[in-house]
């Protein structure tokens, strides 16, 4: 690809990610979050096939652009839905820790994966490395297919209640911010607590 074609293909991918994120709520309502994510993860490896078969030429550039668009539609829809589920089922006090762990795992894996992919591409070649990556895309599909999420037909409603609170609802972070702080009542001086006679001194 030339630089212009390469930029257009990447732009199509970005549009696909935006389209997937925007349509994720409607898709989850229509098909259920679990089946929708399972379908998206099943389509993703298939979108790699044009890249494995591609040769120079305009029609292959268009095909790869369309495949990347569809791939990132699936990634945007599945990613938005799974993040929403995590935020719903996580209690208010654990939201920051949950997001920090998720970001650490995903962002921390990228440089390691890039290093491994570069080394593998140098060792066995580009197409075998892309084939290996395509096969590895089946791993999240297999994990989700064996998890309870595959049967999730509706988004969860409320986060679980911690054991120490019994049946009391867990306040949201917004509710915690909007509750005014308790203001202590100032104590009066000892003399002010004695009754005073009309027109006389304190007894």
User: What does each of the 203 residues of the chain score in pLDDT, given as a tens digit?
Assistant: 889 999 999 999 999 999 999 999 999 999 999 999 999 999 999 999 999 999 889 999 999 999 999 999 999 999 999 999 999 999 989 999 999 999 999 899 999 999 999 999 999 999 999 999 999 999 999 999 999 988 899 888 755 555 555 445 555 444 444 444 455 555 555 555 455 445 555 44
Q: How many CB atoms lie within 10 A of CB 60?
A: 15
Give residue 7's pLDDT. Answer: 94
Where exactly are the structural domains of the chain? 3-89+125-155
For 44, the token pair is 């993703």
- The pTM (predicted TM-score) of the whole model is 0.72
Contacts for 150-153 with beta carbons within 8 Å, 24 or more apart? 150/34, 150/35, 150/38, 151/34, 152/32, 152/33, 152/34, 152/85, 153/32, 153/33, 153/34, 153/35
Give residue 50's pLDDT. Answer: 93
Give residue 118's pLDDT. Answer: 95
For 87, the token pair is 């935020």
- Helix 33-46 and helix 58-89: axis angle, to 10°? 150
3-state class (DSSP) for residue 202:
strand
HSE, CB side, 13 Å, CA atoms: give it for residue 122.
Answer: 5
Give residue 157's pLDDT. Answer: 73
For 199, phi then psi, to 5°, come to 75, 5
Q: Please, is 73 exposed, middle or buried when counting C-beta atoms within 10 Å of its C-beta (0-12, 13-18, 19+)? A: buried
Give residue 179's pLDDT. Answer: 47
């Amino acid at each position: 690809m030339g630089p212009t074609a390469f930029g257009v293909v990447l732009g199509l991918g970005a549009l696909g990610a935006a389209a997937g994120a925007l349509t994720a709520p409607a898709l989850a309502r229509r098909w259920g979050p679990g089946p929708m994510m399972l379908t998206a993860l099943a389509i993703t490896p298939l979108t790699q096939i044009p890249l494995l078969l591609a040769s120079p030429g305009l029609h292959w550039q268009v095909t790869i652009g369309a495949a990347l668009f569809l791939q990132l539609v699936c990634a945007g829809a599945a990613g938005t839905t799974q993040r929403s589920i995590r935020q719903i089922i996580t209690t208010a006090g654990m939201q920051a820790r949950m997001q920090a762990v998720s970001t650490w795992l995903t962002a921390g894996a990228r440089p390691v994966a890039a290093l491994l992919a570069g080394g593998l591409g140098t060792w066995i070649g580009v197409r075998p490395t892309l084939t290996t990556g395509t096969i590895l895309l089946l791993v999240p599909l297999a994990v989700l297919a064996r998890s309870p999420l595959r049967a999730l037909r509706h988004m969860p409603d409320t986060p679980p209640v911690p054991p120490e609170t019994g049946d009391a609802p867990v306040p949201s972070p917004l509710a915690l911010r909007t509750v005014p702080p308790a203001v202590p009542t100032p104590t009066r001086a000892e003399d002010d607590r004695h009754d005073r006679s009309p027109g006389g001194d304190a007894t």
